[in-house]
Structure 1
């Protein structure tokens, strides 16, 4: 009787175990296998995502480095432009001092031009040496507008003084007295200024698109 009871219990336990394997373990195993296959399919996508993320980081870092580099170059060139404008004004003022006293009657209003040039010269000198003492060329929008206004004024005054000086020192043939084929200091400064302005525009065209992407 005892042996028969034990066999009966074993049979019931085996039946229950088979039922658990069929109804619980096998479905769970299939789910696990499905999940493993899904993970295997996602691994290449994960690797690609990691590569793209690293590439994006490299682009951002390179863009920031280029932006900093070009910004520093633009700042240096703008300082040189200010120096050239100051030197140009100095040349104009010096050339006005050399005008013959005989022709003073033909230059009405030259004192106003000289006064404007001297005021602009002083403003540019303050801006220039103020920058060299440690300031930034792009400290604020108001400062940039003020600096642009002064630079425009300097260019205008330089042109007016140059035109006035040319009229005062011409012969009947319309050629400046004592002129030669050599480049004058004023022309040399103007050419140098033009080259610097071109360089600034080239650098700004490189910086702006990169900055926009950021």
Structure 2
């Protein structure tokens, strides 16, 4: 039985809406680590999902090689990852109503755990709102999470009506379960924001090729 067959129907959402200002602009997800774009590594870890989409603004053609639907923010002005999550939840409701959950991940995390979606589902089943987020090394990573599509209405109110931008502010309302992974020998949620981060990620990949 494949992993996707034993999990509740889930949409994988890769959040690539950031502008990579600390890396000089462009798409962080297209940078290579061990000769593979970071985005390719991220997509591979969402393989248990029934479908995967990419949230990104601007010309979608730059992601054409990955063969994924590219969904832009509906909220103008680069409103951050909450706007990307809203776009994913709304897309699921409109295009894949058979998928009741969305698993969100940032596009700049090259070492996401292989059991990410399965463990988030296991924890979310016991949470009040049916949601879960990831943690490692004593730090929470609220952008990495599992969300019922039904939460889109509350999220829209938060982003559009309240102007909310911090992911943690919204997730705290719904008390998601928290799933912790070890951060050694590799932090699975290491994200590439700077040139130093990119160099560190390449060094990790060289010494831990299975990460």
Superposition TM-score tier, normalisation by shorter sequence: under 0.3
- If the length of structure 2 is used for normalisation, what is the TM-score? 0.22
- If the length of structure 1 is used for normalisation, what is the TM-score? 0.22
Higher strand share: 2
Query: Between Structure 1 and Structure 2, whose CA radius of gyration is higher?
Result: 1
Looking at both structures, which has the greater relative contact order when contacts are Cα pairs under 8 Å and sequence separation is at least 6? 1
